[in-house]
Amino acid sequence: MKVEGFELRRVAMPLVTPFRTSFGTQTARDILLVKAVTDAADGWGECVAGADPLYSPEYVDGAADVMRRFLIPALAGVGDADEVAGALHPFKGHRMAKAALEAALLDAELRGLARSLANELGSVADRVPCGVSVGIMDSIPQLLDAVGGYLDEGYVRIKLKIEPGWDVAPVRAVRERFGDVWLQVDANTAYTRDDAGHLAQLDEFDLLLIEQPLDEEDVLGHADLARVVKTPICLDESITSTETAVAAVRLGATRIINIKPGRVGGYLEARRMHDYCLGAGVPVWCGGMVESGIGRAANIALASLPGFTLPGDVSASGRFYEVDITPPFVMRDGHLDVPTGPGIGVEPIPEILDELTTSVEWIPLRSAR
């Protein structure tokens, strides 16, 4: 495959409702889409970096900058998606930027071969169960309304965002109102080691897991916490590669892993992490980063691998967007169909894409070939 260049396209997508987490409130996404133009086909990737470096050190302007100045030039001479990680390895970090470039090339390559990403990754299912992530609300009645609405739509698992001051009471209220629904919580690093006793109060609610209670660098703190709290700890932000996953599992810091392709540097690394976890008996689930249909399609493919035994943050497009840039993913019986078409199986709808685009930049590749 000969790569001619990459189009970096920024798209502004308003959310249907504000999404509040312990690190901020999001009302729209400023999405960086990458289109790889090759002699095989064009391919799409979505960069999940946020507008501000609040979830991770990456942010969308920084991702565009590192792609433009360092990552894309380093791809001259790369002919296959599986060469991308090696070519970009000299550049530290920036996994979300790297993931988007690799995803675009993988999509182009698979489209050229008329093979689906799901097949390529090792999918074993034609549909995946949908979990939904529910933001922090102003009041418990408002939260109960929101959760009730998602359960009515058919979501099979609820994740509540928590932070100090919004944890035990909302979890208790949801448990009391909705009975034995699959329930888990996500703190996005909002607690400290001193909160161990407080977090242990969540044990009585039979949660599937507590996600990333402590700082991303405090892996040892999670291992200590896991000896105090009975609910399984699941790491997200701390796990940036298969090697960090192996270490966290060995330390006893995590019993379950949230795999997000952007956070770990791409779908190929995500598969490698999945394969390790499957072999080690560590359940995994697919995280979400409020993706448009481009990233969502690829996440659904990943979530259909055999080790993804817990429902992921894999929601219908309508959970976040009134209008998506691809045909929307619609939930049926609490599940989404795994795309079967070539590559990620979906493409942006040109008129909608153009309407939501805020900038486009073309970066040609000076190929060594």
Residue 123 or 258 with smaller CB distance to ligand NPG: 258
Does 324 contact ligand NPG by CB under 6 A? no
Contact 31, 67 (CB under 8 A): no
Report residue 364: phi and psi, to 5°.
Answer: -70, 155
Residue nearest to ligand NPG (CB): 288
User: With respect to ligand NPG, which residue has the nearer C-beta, 37 or 336?
Assistant: 336
Judged by beta carbon, residue 44 or residue 321, the one nearer ligand NPG is: 321
CA separation (Å) from 172 to 142, 159, 167, 206? Answer: 14, 13, 9, 10
The reply to whether 326 sits near ligand NPG by the rule CB under 6 A is no
Distance CA 172, CA 162 (A): 12
Task: For the segment 50-69, give every residue that binds ligand NPG (CB under 6 A).
Answer: 50, 55
Instruction: Say which residues have a Cβ less than 8 Å from residue 101's Cβ, sequence separation at least 6.
Output: 6, 34, 36, 45, 67, 71, 72, 75, 84, 88
Is residue 290 part of the contact set for ligand NPG (CB under 6 A)? yes
118-137: contacts with ligand NPG (CB under 6 A): 133
* DSSP letter, residue 73: G
3-state secondary structure of 185: strand
Catalytic site residue from 35, 98, 159, 260:
260
Among 315, 335, 342, 356, binds ligand NPG (CB under 6 A): 315
Give the angle 264-268-270 at the CA atoms, nearest 5°. 40
- Mark 176-205 with x for binding to ligand NPG (rule: CB under 6 A) and - for no binding: ----------x-x-----------------
Active site residue 230: no
> Smallest gap, in angstroms, from Cβ of residue 87 to ligand NPG?
27
Provide, rounded to whole angstroms, the least separation between the CB of residue 289 and ligand NPG: 5
User: Each residue of 354-363: b (16+ CB within 10 Å) or e?
Assistant: eebbeeeeeb
Under the binding rule (CB under 6 A), the answer on residue 116 touching ligand NPG is: no
Q: Which of residues 228-247 bind ligand NPG (CB under 6 A)?
A: 236
Q: What values do phi and psi take at 248, rounded to 5? A: -65, -40
**H/E element holding 210?**
strand 210-211
Using the rule CB under 6 A, give the single segment among 1-9, 78-86, 90-98, 282-290 that binds ligand NPG: 282-290
Task: Single out the residue of 242, 229, 181 nearest to residue 202, CA to CA.
Answer: 229
293 is an interface residue for ligand NPG by CB under 6 A: no
Binding site for ligand NPG (CB under 6 A): 50, 55, 133, 186, 188, 236, 287-291, 313, 315
- Residues taking part in catalysis: 161, 260
